[in-house]
Amino acid sequence: MFRKSFSNNRYNHKSRFHSFRRNNNGQKKNINISRYINTSQSETVESNISITHRFEDFPISDKLKQNIISHGYKVPTPIQDQAIMPILQGRDLVGIANTGTGKTAAFLIPLINKIIQNRTEKVLIIVPTRELAVQIDEELKAFAKFLNIYSVLCIGGASINRQISEIRRNPHLVIGTPGRLKDLIQRRMLNLATFKNIVLDEVDRMIDIGFIHDIRFIVSLLPKSRQSLFFSATVPQEVNGIVQSFLTNPVTISVKVQEIAEHIHQDVIRVKDKNEKIEKLNSMLRQSEFTKVLIFGRTKWGVERLSRSLKEKGFNADSIHGNKSQNQRLTVLSMFKQNRLQILVATDIAARGLDIVDVSHVINYDEPSTYTDYIHRIGRTGRAQKSGKAVTFVD
């Protein structure tokens, strides 16, 4: 059993041991290791939030309903159940929900319907990472199949000239990261005056990685009369400031029951040094239950070294990080999603928003910078009410 595999860590769950390390600013961090442990695991977890709608109940296009069903959606998740109607009604909205709860469909479905009703409607979707932007665009294409609705991805690591060409075709939706969007605006290639719908997704993460000024700049160029949608897993003070400044009388929906799903089993592994750490990792990965594993490292160089080391030992592994081109990152991510890779080693660019099916284990090879980062990392497993396991190395 999984529990027995880590019995040699000799960690006392009731102790007050803390892990001390430095953050990106060189300051010491203090993370209570007991927060990485959750021995109670439920194989089947039912949401205690009642669902009041079915997809066929929503006043949306019949063709859109068909695409929703074809995409495998049967019953709305709580955030979809509560958010779709207010968005259809034109309300501004703040949606707070745990990662992996279906936030993307919660805003895409009503916005697609809005475009079906009025082909002049334009939507701007801002996200923190390229990978999340690509995932939203893929989800959009599934919902908008045969509806003649077009989008453009505006992200770094890809040809800006091609993006400019696609923008000139007047797409209905622009999905992008703050840096690339700002670049296109400053080149006068993207005019936001006609965008009367904006979505900010994973806003807490955008603030974490320093995009707050870019967000404020972009939002300042939008029409004052618009529909603004805000989705996030957490709402720290800086995020609340943005909410107050750019939403008008918003509906606030929170379906966040707890920080971490009960069905993610969490544990720690104590190690003395780097040699013991890699040895224990190798031993774990050779166990049959580690079928689809996402390993998080702190730095781009560390992630690349670990990936190469695992490949040299015969593991089917690869990596994604900021030093790889966008095409390389998308190729590796696609292989992992399609189960052509057993192990994906990544920096925190893979910790937010990505919906990867059936990740059996998340391993924090390096501890996260904050507990919020930890929550998002391990949220890559145990998705769609399935069980998952998360392990964190500590020294």
For the stretch 155-200, pLDDT in tens is: 998 899 999 999 999 999 999 999 999 999 999 999 999 999 999 9
3-class state of residue 390 by DSSP = strand
For the stretch 236-282, pLDDT in tens is: 677 777 777 889 999 999 886 555 556 788 999 999 999 999 999 99
| Mean pLDDT score, 296-310 | 94
Task: Give, in degrees to the nearest 5, the angle at Cα 352 between 354 and 304.
Answer: 85
Pairing relation of β-strands 293-296 and 151-154? Answer: unpaired
pLDDT at res. 9: 42
- Tokens coding 269: 């592994």
- In the chain, the domains with their CATH numbers are 2-45+259-394 (3.40.50.300), 55-254 (3.40.50.300)
Percentage, residues of the chain above pLDDT 70? 85
Residue 216 buriedness (CB in 10 A; 0-12 / 13-18 / 19+)? middle
pTM reported for the whole predicted model:
0.70
Higher pLDDT, 16 or 267: 267
Give the torsion through C-alpha atoms of 76, 78, 81, 84, to 10 deg: -110
